Amino acid sequence: MTDAPALDIRDLDVAYSVRGKDRQVLRGVTLQVARGEAYGLVGESGCGKSTAAMAVMRYLPANGRVRGGSIEVAGANVMELGRRDLRRWRASDVGMVYQNPGTALNPSIRVGRQVAEVFTVQGVGSGEARERALEALKLVQIADPASVLQRYPHQLSGGMQQRVIIAMALAKDPALLILDEPTTGLDATVEAEVLDLVAGLQSSLHTSVLFISHNLGVISKMCARVGVLYAGRLVEEGPVEEVLHDPRHPYTVGLLRCVPRGGVRKDHGRLDTIPGFLPNLGDDLPGCVFADRCALAQDRCHTEPPTAHAIGEQHVSLCHFHETAQTLPRLEAADLELTPVDRSAPPLLAFDELGKVFRQHGNDIHALVGVSASVWPGETLGLVGESGSGKTTLARTLLGILEPTSGAMLLEGKKLGGRMTRRSREEVRALQIVFQNPDSALNRRHTVRRILRRSLRKLARLSGKAADARMTELMTSVRLSERYVSARPSQLSGGLKQRLAIARSFAGEPRLVVCDEPTSALDVSVQAAILNLLVELQAKEGVSYIFISHDLGVVRYVSDRIAVLYLGRLMELGPAEVVFDGPHHPYTEALLSAVPTIDGGGRDRIRLEGDIPSAAKPPTGCVFHTRCPRRLGDVCDTTEPPLVEIADGHLMRCHIPLDQLRTLQASPR
């Protein structure tokens, strides 16, 4: 039995019963994870990834049911386990790591007891369990493990919480480890640390891993083989390298094209998208599951289910036309005319030495320290940095939601009031925002019409027929079909909701729109469509953006210039391609190297030690010196480097001379 694969799923068919009817979620999924192998399961939301994981754990929701197929973990048939055996099996044979470490830990129990519980359920005495809990935390390289045991989950950072969960999952030395989107929602630098940790432990412990993610870059970094799931069917499977670089299913091809990568920028052309929507849960799909959205589909695709075509030794595609899959026509072929930004003209928005101090528990938190920059008409300024770096504070200050403690803001040369209430209507309508989460930003009790008409009335002073006409225009420009005019946000998909949020922000014909992580809650194919829309609106209306995102590929795609923030200070500011191509500030360098890319390889990751320091007690000298991999010496600890222009329009705050940085960063590590 020992040579049985770690996970063996055959013809798995899972259905959810909704209003008395069975809706099929997984359609005959077959996959194997070999001992010691890392297998990636990739797909967009609603494709059945998590359902597959939960089916393996025998933890489907009450209305979910395995209708057919088999699941074996290390040779044991999971489907046939009785109640007590199931509990023992979960206690010793499988470990799981979840998407939200913050909610996966019990808020009212100390971390130590929660970790120790893994051992007590296996019958270990409580004293020994406590000792082994400490060992488990040491294994995941958490700082000061003994004190972590005494703490409550809310006292740990997101990265530490996820380490605790990983410690619990690995502590039992499981035959199979399931990771369900383990780094979604973590900062890029933290994500990189967690991924490094998992990869390291996986290779040293020879753990078999089922890695579920929507992020192709993460899968490429972590896994040897990958399966692409669409509408509950595994449409393509094979070695990661092959699938990502030689995809043989139109869905995989489309998915890969949606991701802005390899340094593409908005003026290089538009991102490709996947038209249409995921089929409804339980739709009858007699042919290929992707046929309705596939530009290559022919009649037989709609009627005849494709069989598995072997391409390489292990590479399999479920497509009738797998040979020509890569000829999938581009949908968004038309390139846009983007007017070049004229930086000799006066800037649209300029801010000078902006500072913001919060008072918290008697401490001064310096959220922004002397930040100066300008945004020209029709330009996109990208803001990057870890959470806590001040990106959102800066955006909110510019919008007048927060009042700056010091410094000045100028809109077209005119001084701007610190608070929204001290700004004229014209100034308010000139600066608008699109939030990360349209669910909480849109009033769910209001219809699309009411949401848009309210903004039109408040910002553009339009009512009656004029407002109706403008509303139709807005909806057309964001490609929100007019049939949704009476719908409420809950009836719209995530992408449509974000379109509505964008339409809302454009109601008053703004000059500058702050986009605060506008696509991070969306799937990649939807993200591509939203990015295209934003660029399109920029080409048409000449609007400027301040674009905040933790996804550097996305920021690079939309931005003309990039500002890198750390602990509320501007560390680097310059044209997007210069900032990305280097030589970069050591912090920028670390951020860039943290991102797992599909193209993978090439550079080694630069590790950042520990968490971002507290803004209440920022380090002396250069604020980055405590984590800087290129620290020069004492000068970094004592003297804060000034922000100097090292090249045309490229500003940097670092003691290391430019030439030296160039040599350091060019040398292979």
Give the Å distances, CA to CA, from 243 to 40, 123, 286: 11, 44, 25
Residues 6+ apart with CB under 8 A from 578: 647, 649, 650
Single-letter amino acid code for the residue at 155: Q
Per CB under 8 A, 104 contacts other proteins:
yes
Q: Which is nearer to other proteins, 56 or 294 (CB)?
A: 56
Q: Which is nearer to other proteins, 80 or 482 (CB)?
A: 80
Per CB under 8 A, 165 contacts other proteins:
yes
In the complex, the smallest distance separating the C-beta of residue 134 from other proteins, rounded to whole angstroms, is: 18
Burial class (CB in 10 A: 0-12, 13-18, 19+), 23: middle
Q: Which is nearer to other proteins, 107 or 464 (CB)?
A: 107
Q: Which is nearer to other proteins, 365 or 571 (CB)?
A: 365
Q: Which is nearer to other proteins, 94 or 562 (CB)?
A: 94
Q: Which is nearer to other proteins, 146 or 466 (CB)?
A: 146
Q: Which two tokens stand for residue 418?
A: 């610190």
Cis peptide before 583 (omega within 30 of 0): yes
Q: Which is nearer to other proteins, 158 or 227 (CB)?
A: 158
In the complex, the smallest distance separating the C-beta of residue 106 from other proteins, rounded to whole angstroms, is: 4
In the complex, the smallest distance separating the C-beta of residue 104 from other proteins, rounded to whole angstroms, is: 5
Per CB under 8 A, 362 contacts other proteins:
no
Per CB under 8 A, 57 contacts other proteins:
yes
The number of residues in the chain equals: 669
Place of tokens 């931005």: 559
In the complex, the smallest distance separating the C-beta of residue 88 from other proteins, rounded to whole angstroms, is: 7
Closest CA to 76 of 133, 16, 5, 136: 5
- The CA radius of gyration of the chain, in Å to the nearest whole number, is 26
Place of tokens 């049985």: 4
In the complex, the smallest distance separating the C-beta of residue 102 from other proteins, rounded to whole angstroms, is: 9
Q: What angle do CA 41, 43, 45 make, to 5 degrees?
A: 125
Single-letter amino acid code for the residue at 451: I
Q: Which is nearer to other proteins, 57 or 514 (CB)?
A: 57
Query: Of these, 138, 154, 245, 414, which contacts other proteins (CB under 8 A)?
Result: 154
The C-alpha atoms of residue 312 and residue 181 are separated, in whole angstroms, by: 28
Query: Of these, 106, 324, 486, 490, which contacts other proteins (CB under 8 A)?
Result: 106
Single-letter amino acid code for the residue at 584: H
* Bridge partners of residue 177, in order along the sequence: 95, 209
By the 8 A CB rule, do 586 and 654 touch?
yes
The C-alpha atoms of residue 383 and residue 550 are separated, in whole angstroms, by: 9
In the complex, the smallest distance separating the C-beta of residue 17 from other proteins, rounded to whole angstroms, is: 13
Q: Which is nearer to other proteins, 81 or 410 (CB)?
A: 81
Q: Which is nearer to other proteins, 59 or 353 (CB)?
A: 59
By the 8 A CB rule, do 522 and 516 touch?
no
Backbone conformation region of residue 207, classed left if phi is above 0, alpha if psi is from -120 to 50, else beta: beta
Near other proteins by CB under 8 A, which window of 21-29, 104-112, 418-426, 568-576?
Answer: 104-112
In the complex, the smallest distance separating the C-beta of residue 152 from other proteins, rounded to whole angstroms, is: 4
By the 8 A CB rule, do 259 and 233 touch?
no
Near other proteins by CB under 8 A, which window of 42-50, 92-100, 263-271, 449-457?
Answer: 92-100
Near other proteins by CB under 8 A, which window of 97-105, 279-287, 309-317, 508-516?
Answer: 97-105
Per CB under 8 A, 117 contacts other proteins:
yes
In the complex, the smallest distance separating the C-beta of residue 185 from other proteins, rounded to whole angstroms, is: 13
Per CB under 8 A, 90 contacts other proteins:
yes
In the complex, the smallest distance separating the C-beta of residue 153 from other proteins, rounded to whole angstroms, is: 9
Q: Binding marks (x or -) toward other proteins, 69..88, rule CB under 8 A?
A: ------------------xx
How many residues belong to the site for other proteins (CB under 8 A)? Answer: 29
Q: Which is nearer to other proteins, 184 or 477 (CB)?
A: 184
- Reduce the DSSP state of residue 515 to 3 states and report it: strand
The C-alpha atoms of residue 51 and residue 303 are separated, in whole angstroms, by: 26
Per CB under 8 A, 103 contacts other proteins:
yes
Single-letter amino acid code for the residue at 67: R
By the 8 A CB rule, do 34 and 6 touch?
yes
In the complex, the smallest distance separating the C-beta of residue 26 from other proteins, rounded to whole angstroms, is: 19
Single-letter amino acid code for the residue at 628: C
Q: Which is nearer to other proteins, 133 or 416 (CB)?
A: 133
Per CB under 8 A, 49 contacts other proteins:
no
Query: Of these, 92, 326, 374, 520, which contacts other proteins (CB under 8 A)?
Result: 92
Q: How many CB atoms lie within 10 A of CB 107?
A: 9
In the complex, the smallest distance separating the C-beta of residue 143 from other proteins, rounded to whole angstroms, is: 14
Per CB under 8 A, 59 contacts other proteins:
yes
Specify the pairing of strand 76-77 against strand 64-73: antiparallel
Query: Of these, 16, 89, 230, 580, which contacts other proteins (CB under 8 A)?
Result: 89
Per CB under 8 A, 118 contacts other proteins:
yes
In the complex, the smallest distance separating the C-beta of residue 20 from other proteins, rounded to whole angstroms, is: 14
Backbone conformation region of residue 32, classed left if phi is above 0, alpha if psi is from -120 to 50, else beta: beta
What is the DSSP code (8-state) at residue 330? -
Query: Of these, 9, 33, 105, 243, which contacts other proteins (CB under 8 A)?
Result: 105
What is the DSSP code (8-state) at residue 336? P
By the 8 A CB rule, do 521 and 494 touch?
yes
Q: How many CB atoms lie within 10 A of CB 447?
A: 16
Q: Where do contacts with other proteins occur on this chain (CB under 8 A)?
A: 57, 59, 87-92, 94, 96, 98, 100, 103-109, 117-118, 121-122, 152, 154-155, 165, 168, 361
